[in-house]
Structure 1
Amino acid sequence: MTDSVLFSSFDWAENTLQNRMVLAPMTRGRAGADRIPNKIMGDHYVQRADAGLIITEATAISEEGIGWVDTPGIYTDKMVEGWRSVVNRVHEAGGKIVLQLWHTGRASHSDFHNGNLPLSASAIKIEGDEIHTPKGKKPYEVPKAMTFDDIKRTVQDYKKAAVNAKAAGFDGVEVHAANGYLINQFLDSRSNQRTDNYGGSVDNRYRFLAEVMDAVLSVWDKEHVGVRLSPNGGFNDMGADDFRETFTFVAQQLNKLEIGYLHVMDGLAFGFHERGEAMSLAEFRALFDGMIIGNCGYNKEEAEKRLSDGDGDMIAFGRPWITNPDLPTRFKHNYPLDSFDDPSSWYGSSEEGYNDFETYREKSGKDAMTSLT
């Protein structure tokens, strides 16, 4: 066992987090067609409750916000009840958990919306890969550019989702403004070609996020609110030439709000747009005074370095935690990791590829029993 900054505690939003490891939000599609959080989702998070902080999978704030098959929502009473069961179980296991608020925008399809087109900042479709819909894989569509009424309604959807998250007992909420989803579509000058007060200059493109933050902060104390950004991301056809100017401004504005944390996809992995040098965690440390979470394919050694250098306060891990439900234990004791290179069973509706991975203790115990027979 080794002592390290990764396993030191950290104070956040009146909570003492047990380590600096964050379970990254990962869309896994286990909520079923009714999108109500269920027992196997609770089992999954409880298995990983030794994280310093859990960020849930992206959770739709409304029917209009849906863009993935079988992902959960937070816009009905039954969804709140489902999430409350999950949260209670995580708390009983000693964990802390925040809900990620999600609207997919143009990264959706009319098959999810009874034939109505998905919404976005502008009527510009995603170029490239197809989307999985309830009726199969299909090309992306040209979305509907949001009207002022659409924007006003969607901001209220974020507020209601924040209210529902509090009712479910979460420790906080994270506004998903990354990875090419709706808020990111407003921020990025490639996907936002509006000529009104929500387009053009960077402060105009930030306006939608600013209004969402006002709505969420009217429900939650600022210390319990985080925002996720992907300044270097090319996923969902993102990545404008002015990315550094945009995300420098966004980080500065969020800092003025004194929110609890900034969750940054900071590296070159997962679809770097290759429009100049990537923005680093250290750059955001200079712009933001609150807790900073780094997230971009980190291994243990890289995480330790970022924390030791003071660039971030927490590091999020995603794929390694899928196949290694006891990831903090494995890191702490330098146990080997099970491979996480085969995603064929990660997405779906069953326990397979979700809750059937063994801890190191379970696996080594089986190996020991086998050697005795």
Structure 2
Amino acid sequence: MSTTTLFDSTTLGALTVPNRIAMAPMTRSRAAVDGTPTELMSTYYAQRATAGLIIAEGTHPTAAGRIGPGAPGLHQDAHRLGWSYVANAVHDAGGRIFVQLMHAGRLAHPSFLPDGLHPVAPSDIAARAEVYTAGGRKAAVRPQALTHEQILDVIDDFAQSAVRAMAAGMDGVEIHAANGYLLHQFLAENANLRTDGWGGSLDARIRLTVEVVRAVAAAIGPHRVGLRISPGNQFGGLVEQAPEATYTALVQELAQDGLAYLHLVETGTNLDDRIRAVWPSALVIAPMAGRPGDVTKVNAANAWLRRGADLVAFGRGFLANADLVERLRVGAPLNALAPHGLYGGDHRGYTDYPTLEQLPAVDA
């Protein structure tokens, strides 16, 4: 019996990918001041086009959802045009790319929001967290609680942003309901104290994520939509009292919607296998174990393929290794991550890492 490897092809919705290594979405803060993707971003993503799927960094679907300076947006025509250059560059290099739509919610900050906008959230509770700003890290501020009408606007913002993504030539979009951002805030009991139809009961807490996903799917087709979740993740000060119940209900609710994939950040609990069991289409897993080139990471990836994952997401390994797929294939060592350029800056620590072909030959 053959064993599935990281280098076998598979499908996500209507998309065929040549290998099972996904590039995880990672904030790099290289967009223009207004959130428009830059030529440098096109180079960066095109360099990494050998990934089975690139999931581009968190991108705000509305101005109030920005996560920080240099974060890209997708709610203006200029943003769409900028992303079209990225999509074209990746496709010209033979790759496939989804863009992740992410609303920061209470993890935004007034210092980088335009036009006097203020962070919003399910309830007016400040995160016990610091936010990255142009002036350094600052304490998160108390957000404004969204009204019912504003929540409906958020849903529409996601859908319209997805339409722009398709107009830009993207292969699809990933909805970010993880890592402490707005949709995750609605899922978490300590951030969502609402007692209306958007909070209180389990069904009400999952409602916004469900409605965003379905609005986006209706706008661009479910086969072009992925969803990312991170059950129990405490990023941004979130505390989920019963992640097993919350995420089982969420996944079951969306299980028959025909989405391209579910992107699960591994929890290390029985919930991981429970989600695999109830999710009928492709599963992208982000394992917890090891550094990208370590045997532990590769073993964890292969173990997850045996457990039923369809793709494995690698994050930091892609930062310094545009050719990560080939390095993993041949067992080559990885470039060390530079101490500069992780968030913001120019090409240094971003597009200047050498590939295997560019390294000097070593005499036998």
Query: Which residue does the alignment assign to 1:104?
Result: 104
**5 Å matches for 1:165-314?**
165-267=165-267, 278=269, 280-298=271-289, 299-310=297-308, 312-314=309-311
| TM-score, normalised by the number of residues in structure 2 | 0.93
Q: Distance in 1 between matches of 2:270 and 2:165?
A: 31
Q: 2 CA distance for matches of 1:41 and 1:281?
A: 33
User: C-alpha separation between the residues in 2 aligned to 1:236 and 1:77?
Assistant: 31
Tell me which residue corresponds to 1:120: 121
Residue 322 (structure 1) aligned with residue 319 (structure 2): yes
Q: Distance in 2 between matches of 1:116 and 1:241?
A: 31
Cα pair 2:31 2:38 within 8 Å, conserved = yes
- Counterpart Cα distance in 1 of 2:220 and 2:307: 31
Corresponding residue number in structure 2 for 1:352: 348
**What is the distance in 2 between the residues matched to 1:156 and 1:265?**
26
Contact kept in structure 2, 1:122 and 1:194, CA below 8 Å = yes
Distance, in Å, in 2 between the alignment partners of 1:94 and 1:281 is: 32
- 1:294 aligned counterpart, secondary structure: strand
Q: Which amino acid aligns with 1:345?
A: G
Aligned partners of 1:349, 1:280: CA distance in 2, in Å? 39
Kindly provide the CA deviation profile for residues 69-125 of structure 1, in whole angstroms up to 9, marking residues without a partner as x. 111111111111111111011111111101111110001112233444310001111
Change in Cα spacing, 1:240 to 1:4, as seen in structure 2 (3 Å) is: closer
Correspondence 1:85-96 to 2 at 5 A: 85-96=85-96
Q: Secondary structure at the match of 2:236?
A: coil
- The two structures, once aligned, show a CA RMSD in angstroms of 1.7
In the TM superposition, 1:330-349 aligns within 5 A as 330-340=327-337, 343-349=339-345
Task: Report the secondary structure of 2:190's partner residue.
Answer: coil
Q: What is the total number of aligned residue pairs between the two structures?
A: 354
- TM-score in terms of structure 1 length: 0.91
Sequence identity (%): 37
CA displacement 1:236-293 (0-9 Å, x = unmatched) = 112312111111111111213221100011146xxxxxxxxx3553221112001000
Contact 2:74–2:80, Cα closer than 8 Å, also in 1: yes
Query: How far off is 1:4 after superposition?
Result: 5.8
Structure 1 distance, partners of 2:202, 2:120, is: 21
Q: Matches of 2:131 and 2:253 in 1, distance apart?
A: 33
* Corresponding residue number in structure 2 for 1:43: 43
Which 5+ residue runs of structure 2 have no aligned equivalent? 290-296
Higher mean C-alpha displacement, 134-143 vs 214-223: 134-143
Mapped contact 1:62–1:73 kept (Cα < 8 A): yes
Question: Closer, same or farther in 2 for the Cα pair 1:116/1:40, shift >3 Å?
Answer: closer
